[in-house]
Amino acid sequence: MAKLLMEGNQALAEAAIHAGCRYFFGYPITPQSEIPEYLSRRLPQVGGVYLQAESEVSAINMVFGAAGTGARVFTASSSPGISLMSEGISYIAACELPCVLVNVQRGGPGLGNIAPSQADYNQATKGIGHGDFHLLVLAPNSVQEMADLTIWAFDLADKYRNPVMVLSDGILGQMMEPVEFSEEIPEPPEKPWAVTGASGRKRNIINSLHIAPEVLEARNLKLQAKYAAAKENECRCENYLTEDAELVVAAFGSCARIAKAAVEEARSQGIKAGLCRPITVWPFPEAAVAEACKNARACIVTEMNEGQMVYDIRLALKDRIPVHSFGKMGGVIPTPNQILDEIKKLEVKPGV
């Protein structure tokens, strides 16, 4: 298939259709509104349903219902809208229903602004809703990955019967790059647990209420076993020029693109720098992070937030080397030169 020049949001939306998704429920919010705009036109063309709900709370509960029937379904929003969805997401995870959630992050907290941000990392990877559950969280860094990781997200959601989030941001959502879609459309697995009318079979019940603590504990243990399997099988990380790197920059998503430019400039100036880019931010690729830093004297984590992934990097490196944080907040985007300056500071004093 020929390359297309597409916005990240549009590429993501088209990828969902390629993955066999035919249902989208959402509510507009910048900088993700190109997703519902695109799908409002595209889904009816392929026999799907696009529905603009009256609120994010309503949209996530529509996703809940559609996922219960076994349909491939997704929703997209941006930071404040995702917060509104958090109760529904917990219910979906508790009921073990597959769906895809997209957060095109913007500056926060509160209403914040419409500039790109990565300030929802902790929310996505650790605290999206109440109770002991996790999303699987994928962090694209290009328009091509907006498409590829979305298709993977649908597969993971079905495989683990769990909501999967694509953690994007305003840069990735609105930038245009060439993108290619493979002709191959994956076949979703059978879903014998779905509520489809129960004719000729035992009825299926989808429920997250378990009054007896022992019963609820058993449910939780089942969820935890699933998360352990995801940790074992699904971690992805891209390490770049890390083999001999003495200073490693860790970054995810769009910020990793900026960090990559800084690392390349550092190399051209004779500094042995490398880049470690977690692609799954939950499960967190601890082994790959440790591998990236095996020869490093120090690591610096650059993020468009106050320093959130830095704690996961520290856990992965077990305090073996100093791990510094360089973050920009409120929708401010760091420049390659600013990151290069941080690398140069470490070149002199890795431990400070």
Write the CA distances from 90 to 73, 83, 93, 163, integer angstroms. 16, 12, 5, 9
Number of alpha carbons in the 13 Å side-chain half-sphere of residue 330: 0
Q: For another protein, which stretch binds (CB under 8 A), given 81-89, 147-155, 219-227, 260-268?
A: 260-268
**Is 144 near another protein (CB under 8 A)?**
no
Residue 263 backbone zone (phi > 0: left; psi -120 to 50: alpha; other: beta): alpha
CA 28 to chain CA centroid, nearest Å: 19
Per-residue binding string, another protein, 109-128, x by CB under 8 A, is -----x--------------
Q: How far is the CB of 237 from another protein (least distance, A)?
A: 18
337 makes contact with another protein (CB under 8 A): yes
For residues 118 and 169, is the Cβ–Cβ distance under 8 A? yes
3-state secondary structure of 148: helix
Name residues contacting another protein, limited to 171-210 (CB under 8 A). 171, 174-178
Which of 42-50, 52-60, 90-98, 335-343 is the region at the interface with another protein (rule: CB under 8 A)?
335-343
Longest CA–CA separation in the chain, Å: 72
CA distance 328 to 348: 23
CA distance 248 to 345: 13
Site for another protein in 17-36 (CB under 8 A): 30
Shortest distance in whole angstroms from residue 342 CB to another protein: 15
333 lines the binding site for another protein (CB under 8 A): yes
Output the smallest distance, CB 126 to another protein, in A.
28
Residue from 72, 106, 191, 260 touching another protein (CB under 8 A): that is 260
For tokens 């695109």, the residue is 38
What residue ranges bind another protein (CB under 8 A)? 3, 5, 30, 114, 171, 174-178, 257-258, 260-261, 264, 333, 335-337
